[in-house]
Structure 1
Amino acid sequence: MVSPSIISLPLILYLSFFSFFFVSPSQSHNNNNNNKVSLALYYESLCPYCSNFIVNYLPKIFTDDLISIVDLNLVPWGNAKLRSATNFTCQHGPNECLLNTVEACAIAAWPELSKHFPFIYCVEDLVYQHKNNEWESCFQKLGLDSRPIDLCYKGEIGKQLELNYAAETKALQPPHTYVPWVVVNGKPLYEDYEKFLSYVCEAYQGTHKPKSCTKASYLSSDVKAMPKHSVSDMEE
């Protein structure tokens, strides 16, 4: 688990947080989109290890010049289980099914990463602080219209989005066995997921490797191994 000394971003930093998502035209031009590294996170909203990763690790890709080489895909399903063709249960109960669906709706309503990630970050930051019941405050904090999300998660659209994510998760090869399940260019990182930046930099095949990839903190030899079992295993 993350050190207690790591503090979640307070509300006053949310505005500056948006600056993480700006990629200058020159950065976009200098990095061939065909060389982007695929980074996928299969997770569930109330998994403590998932919220820890989303809040304290994943935002690192939005700093410096890394975001220009990454294609990030978030899949909020995790260890949920289908009970029939249209019904499912979640590992951490109904509230997790609710927030999984809310986050799926955010991705659908605001397809751009710069739009949906701040919202998901905000929700998961509240989960990290054990305040997940306050998730609706993220609309006001980020100046977002709640109506598209309300219509989505309260209706059939939200359920269908989750069923689509169920199918995507089930199709993983090799199959996932816990969350967070982080995949770089189709290869799972298993319990090495906190060192994902090293794998992203290693996988990038573009002509101009980002300067960030040369930083010692991003090299696998300089990143401490995470404690074993910092994951939520699937239930039988």
Structure 2
Amino acid sequence: MASRGSFLLAILFLPFVLFSAPICLARDSKVSLALYYETLCPFCSNFIVNYLAKIWDNGLISIVDLELIPYGNARIRSNGTITCQHGKYECLLNTVEACAIDAWPDLDVHFGFINCVETLVIEHKYLEWESCFAATGLDSKPVLECYENGYGHELDLKYAAKTNALEPPHRYVPWVVVDGEPLYEDYENFEAYICKAYKGNNRPEVCDGVVLKLSKEKKQRNSVCHKNDVGLLDTMKIEMVI
């Protein structure tokens, strides 16, 4: 008799279990954040090091599903080779960072390496990028092999396809996308957009302060590397090589 009663209770509560669990999961789903960038654009480096890295410190990373796409304004030639807006070293570092993402899928790991490289870019020391292996305690072998054996080029083509499929198409970098919506030149305010988009129950405290920024007038910035911007890039390239 008791077992029959337990069976009936289980039947009664089964719909609740089936339908409530997905709802709870949906409430706590993370906000997608995608950064389309190129490694030697100074505005991309600045965003990664001085803005994006902070979400690990303020707890926002707990509600974010972050994807990094290192390709930016590069172009594929008819022979399949790739040219980059800031020259050959940008192509090299785009591939290196793509290889790092592939070699270490854990976001905490590959972002740490990329953050190190982009810090060197800001400091005009990007030729010392290999020092980031020792600085982060990571084995250089998988990344160097990826770059040298041609697999890195395959990754570049994958990121090229992903970038070129953007809708609307990107016009410059950094191109920051939150839940499928580009932030355009208001990208530095990305935290407020994430907080607004998040519908879960585990809202980080930082959202109490940043969400109010959305009500303010957006700043008009020129802090981007446009697809056809040449003069600024040449100047920046000369300064960095020196």
If the TM-score is normalised by the length of the shorter chain, which range does it land in?
Answer: 0.7 to 0.9
Q: Which residue number in structure 1 is paired with residue 30 of structure 2? A: 36
Query: For each residue in 1:37-91, what CA deviation from the matched residue of structure 2 results, as whole angstroms up to 9, or x when unmatched?
Result: 0000000000000000001000121123311100000000000001126211000
- Structure 1 residue ranges without an equivalent (≥5): 1-29
Q: Which residue number in structure 1 is paired with residue 157 of structure 2? A: 163
Rg (Cα) greater in structure: 2
Q: Which residue number in structure 1 is paired with residue 197 of structure 2? A: 203
Distance 1:213 1:117, change over 3 A: same
SS in 2 for 1:74: strand
Q: CA offset at residue 226 of structure 1?
A: 4.7
Alpha-carbon distance in structure 2 between the residues aligned to 1:31 and 1:131: 44
Q: Which residue number in structure 1 is paired with residue 171 of structure 2? A: 177
SS in 1 for 2:176: strand
Alignment of 1:53-72 (within 5 A): 53-72=47-66
Alpha-carbon distance in structure 1 between the residues aligned to 2:98 and 2:27: 25
Q: Is this contact kept in 2: 1:44–1:100, CA < 8 A? A: yes
1:93 maps onto 2:87 in alignment: yes
**Which consecutive segments of 4 or more residues in structure 1 shift more than 4 A?**
30-34, 221-227
Identify, as 1 or 2, the structure richer in helix. Answer: 2
Q: TM-score, normalised to structure 2's length?
A: 0.80
Alignment of 1:1-236 (within 5 A): 35-84=29-78, 86-215=80-209, 217=210, 219-221=212-214, 226=219, 228-235=221-228
Percent of residue pairs bearing the same amino acid type = 58
- Structure 2 residue ranges without an equivalent (≥5): 1-23, 230-242
Q: Is this contact kept in 2: 1:184–1:200, CA < 8 A? A: yes
Alpha-carbon distance in structure 1 between the residues aligned to 2:85 and 2:198: 35
Query: For each residue in 1:167-210, what CA deviation from the matched residue of structure 2 results, as whole angstroms up to 9, or x when unmatched?
Result: 00001000000000000000000000000000000000113322
Alpha-carbon distance in structure 1 between the residues aligned to 2:115 and 2:173: 17
Distance 1:98 1:33, change over 3 A: farther
Q: Is this contact kept in 2: 1:31–1:68, CA < 8 A? A: no
Q: CA offset at residue 156 of structure 1?
A: 1.2
CA RMSD across the alignment? 2.0
Alpha-carbon distance in structure 2 between the residues aligned to 1:50 and 1:224: 23
Alpha-carbon distance in structure 2 between the residues aligned to 1:120 and 1:233: 22
* Number of aligned residues: 206
Alpha-carbon distance in structure 1 between the residues aligned to 2:217 and 2:128: 34
Amino acid corresponding to residue 182 of structure 2 in structure 1: P
Amino acid corresponding to residue 141 of structure 1 in structure 2: A
Q: Is this contact kept in 1: 2:39–2:70, CA < 8 A? A: yes
Alpha-carbon distance in structure 2 between the residues aligned to 1:222 and 1:167: 35
Distance 1:138 1:173, change over 3 A: same
Q: CA offset at residue 143 of structure 1?
A: 1.1
Q: CA offset at residue 225 of structure 1?
A: 5.0
Q: CA offset at residue 35 of structure 1?
A: 1.4
Q: Is this contact kept in 1: 2:196–2:211, CA < 8 A? A: no
Alpha-carbon distance in structure 1 between the residues aligned to 2:215 and 2:136: 35
